[in-house]
Amino acid sequence: MRSETAAIVCALRNHGEHGAIVRLMTPEQGLIAAYVRGARGRRMRPVLIAGNVVDARLSARTEAQLPQAEIELVHSRGPLLSEPLPAAAIEWATVLTASALPEGQPYPLLYQAFEGLLDAIEASPSANGWGVALVRYELLLLAELGFGLDLERCAVTGANDDLVAVSPKSGRAVSAAEAEPYTGKLLPLPAFVRAGGRASWEDIADGLDLTGHFLLRDVLNDRSRPVADARGRLVERLRRAGGLA
């Protein structure tokens, strides 16, 4: 069995003396794992950096067998690793994707959003340029996995205007009037999440707090500590960059 696909490198786990199991996000197969010979060698190490776009040629004797992959670099995001905030954003986006998604299930909308997010991180020197894309990617991932938030109408009144908060229990929006008695107990709902457009540093931080609450509760609750740590590093750096720390 042979196939070829474009892919984004998400994670690498050493296997054997020189090889590694690589987890790749693909347009048509979703998240897949494959064994790459010589992955830890001098030639392949810069190719298999998380966030890189590659061409993967996969081969396996049966569908049940872990495929082997020949990987060629299409586009490198390695230079961004020297920039603390973009590096933290790429680390988190790739770790989240590799940890949250089941293997072998196609998520074409997520792939497009993931690709767009990484392109935005690369194109913009400031999180103001990609922070909105990250929040939207996380909201889409929650929805695709069955944990979507209900942000269209107030959970109490059913109205669809002046929505300013989200219940941390139900994931439903709350209007300003209904949220006032519960100040400090609800999660802020930044305007850009519903209306689109650009966002301030504070709005981006609030958006990440919102999605982070539900990701850590519903999607990553049984995952290893390093996954949460990657998000913590990103949020800390973003708050420092925006003067919010």
Give the tens place of pLDDT for each residue, 54-100.
999 999 887 778 999 999 999 999 999 999 899 999 999 999 999 99
| pLDDT grade for 242, boundaries at 50, 70 and 90 | confident
Q: What is the pTM of this model?
A: 0.93
Question: Which residue is it, tokens 């030639």?
Answer: 43
Residue among 191, 235, 243 nearest 213 (CA): 235
Q: How far is CA 45 from CA 41, 79, 98, 111, 141, in A?
A: 6, 14, 19, 24, 29
CATH of domain 79-151+189-241: 1.20.1440
Residue of higher predicted confidence among 226 and 157: 157
d(C-alpha 142, C-alpha 218), whole Å: 9
Alpha-carbon distance of 56 to 74, in angstroms, equals: 10
Q: Tell me what the pLDDT averaged over the chain comes to.
A: 92
Dist. CA 198–CA 92, nearest whole Å: 21
pLDDT for 185: 94
Show me where the domains of the chain are located.
2-76, 79-151+189-241
* Residue with the larger pLDDT of the pair 51 and 221: 51
The two domains 2-76 and 79-151+189-241 share their CATH topology (first three levels equal): no
Using the predicted structure, report yes or no on whether residue 231 has a pLDDT greater than 90.
Answer: no
Structure confidence at residue 129 (pLDDT): 85
2-76 carries CATH number 2.40.50.140: yes
Whether 224 shows a pLDDT value over 70: the answer reads no
